[in-house]
Amino acid sequence: MSVTIKTAKEIQLMRESCARLSEVFECLGEMIKPGITTKEIDREAERLIRAHGGIPNFLNYNGYPASICTSVNEEVVHGIPGDRILVEGDIISLDCGLIWQGYHSDMARTFAVGQISPEAQKLIDVTRESFFRGIEFARAGNHLNDISSAIGAYAESFGYGVVRDLVGHGIGTSLHEDPQVPNFAMKRRGVKLVPGMTLAIEPMITAGTWEVDWLDDDWTVVTADDSLAAHYENTVLITEGDPEILTLR
Ligand code: MF3
Ligand code: CO
């Protein structure tokens, strides 16, 4: 598949999809407290998505069994909601998306459960900031690698690991479109950015190694050294000027 350039009408639908998703996230963020289970977060996510007129796009995606990914501590992404109870000091990455009138949105945030260590908070902050370092290069005429290398260089300057086995992606009428959007420098400059491209840019950063393993559920991605991991994702529109971060309210 090639990179899709959205029309004005499609861009409007992407905006609407992403606005709904960011409202869902605002509610989910308020639920994150010690004592809640990840399954309860999933149920509320699905309810909120449908209440906003959307369809959960993760549910049944390649057989994925939930509407949201809940990844705790050393889990990087794709943690499956279940009976796990969040405890004070955990960090949890929520990754969620929806379909609105045929258009997909995708975003992720890492939340603190109660009081967390300064080390965990720093990892969350640097992961978020790495996205914004990358986004400075999300401008028409630049190339994809300008974004990727800025994200990676910033995170690595703290000694953090930048996950390489998973990347961001184009997004539109499918959850995953071309191009792939790595969070580390590539040898090639990648595609040229053009107004109307919509990209899910999603640094996945660890407090240790970049290497990851898969659990036996075949979904949950964990750090190979059990270090903490954080995730920060927005769906972004390339414009003639500044990028529009569609999932930021
Ligand atoms: N949000 C993930 C991504 O950014 C997709 C998760 S698909 C699921 O690519 F099936 F695991 F939910
Ligand atoms: Co994504």
Q: What is the pLDDT of residues 207-233, one digit of tens each?
A: 999 999 999 999 999 999 999 999 999
Ligand 1 touching residue 58 (CB < 6 A): yes
Judge contact between 89 and 116, C-beta under 8 A: yes
Write the residue with the smallest CA distance to atom 1 of ligand 1. 95
Does any ligand 1 atom lie closer than 6 A to the CB of residue 48? no
Centre of ligand 1 to C-alpha 66, Å, is 10
DSSP 3-state of 100 = strand
This prediction's pTM: 0.98
Q: Which residues are near ligand 2, the ion (C-beta closer than 5 Å)?
A: 106, 200, 202
Residue 228 alpha carbon to ligand 1 centre in Å: 19
Rounded to whole angstroms, the Cα distance separating 172 from 165 reads 22
d(CA 46, CA 98) in angstroms, rounded, equals: 9
CA–CA distance, 163 with 165 (Å, rounded to integer)? 6
Q: What is the pLDDT of residues 55-73, one digit of tens each?
A: 999 999 999 999 999 999 9
The pLDDT profile of the chain, 249 residues, written as one tens digit per residue, is 689 999 999 999 999 999 999 999 999 999 999 999 999 999 999 999 999 999 999 999 999 999 999 999 999 999 999 999 999 999 999 999 999 999 999 999 999 999 999 999 999 999 999 999 999 999 999 999 999 999 999 999 999 999 999 999 999 999 999 999 999 999 999 999 999 999 999 999 999 999 999 999 999 999 999 999 999 999 999 999 999 999 997
Q: ∠ CA(41), CA(47), CA(52), 5° rounding?
A: 125
Helices (H), 52-143: 118-135
The finding on whether 42 has its CB within 6 A of some atom of ligand 1 is no
Distance CA(206)–CA(126), nearest Å, equals: 10
C-alpha of residue 171 to centroid of ligand 1, in Å: 12
In degrees and rounded to multiples of 5, residue 154 shows phi and psi of -65, -50
Q: How far is CA 205 from CA 3, 86, 244, in A?
A: 26, 21, 23
CA of 58 to the centre of ligand 1 (A): 6
Give the nearest ligand 1 atom to 166 CA.
9
Residue of 69, 131, 166, 178 best suited for mutating to test ligand 1, as the one with most atoms within 8 Å of CB: 69
Tell me the C-alpha to C-alpha distance, in Å, between residue 8 and each of 4, 15, 196, 239: 13, 11, 8, 11
